[in-house]
Structure 1
């Protein structure tokens, strides 16, 4: 089966982004850096053209494509978290645009969207009791940073 590698379009800061993600994700590696050749008309010779990196076993390519395109919420990366401490750690490390925060969705300083999702949320949203699932969903919609204890209280009707 062929590998699918997300290619992220950056405006000249793909290497900075990769180095930043290394500080956030313990299992992140920068695998390769490709520099522009001397005959590239849009980049100085030796400038970073592509950064290949891996986070949690998923390969990514960061392409320094220029200012033409920006990230949108149409694409985001979901981080499954074991508990509130992990939710808080990723939220604190990645969130850089407070006005974009909603329901665990955040934007980092490069404009890339992330979903910081506790595994408990998916369990609550798929609860066989539709009232519990609805209450958890309504509570989630009111949150910026997801609060596991508050989600559980809401599901229970407290």
Structure 2
């Protein structure tokens, strides 16, 4: 059997609340195990662990989670739900109310950035954006 690799998110007493919040946002998500110390959960089939580890460590943007979105509606959904009560940053980044950093990006961004002629205009456009606007990127 192959080793499973999955993230462990460190919280100060908010592991269950965070897991419940994320499971309410992502389709095909569920809590798979919980006790007073850890909560295991899945988001779209991806395994996570939330740990009630105490106040000594804090989450940071040094570890972020990328959500590739096909449509503007998907971007809007994740942006609004994950950003509620948090901090919105530039270029599709946000810190949610638990301190977890997310990047909400359109799947087409990689393709647009691979075009040497279009890439500088696309980069200039998205550097001005907070939440990504797919049509704005296509028009750049």
Matched with 2:30 is: 29
Matched with 1:152 is: 138
Q: Distance in 2 between matches of 1:91 and 1:50?
A: 27
Q: What are the residue-to-residue correspondences of 1:40-119 with 2, within 5 Å?
A: 48-95=36-83, 96-98=85-87, 100-119=88-107
Q: Distance in 2 between matches of 1:79 and 1:66?
A: 28
Matched with 1:6 is: 7
Q: Distance in 2 between matches of 1:86 and 1:70?
A: 28
Kindly tell me the number of residue pairs found equivalent between the two proteins.
138
Q: Which runs of 5+ in 1 are unaligned?
A: 35-47
- TM-score of the aligned structures, taking structure 1 as reference length: 0.84
Runs of 4+ in 1 over 4 A off after TM superposition: none
Q: Which runs of 5+ in 2 are unaligned?
A: none
Matched with 2:119 is: 133
Matched with 2:18 is: 17
CA contact (8 A) 2:60 2:101 kept: yes
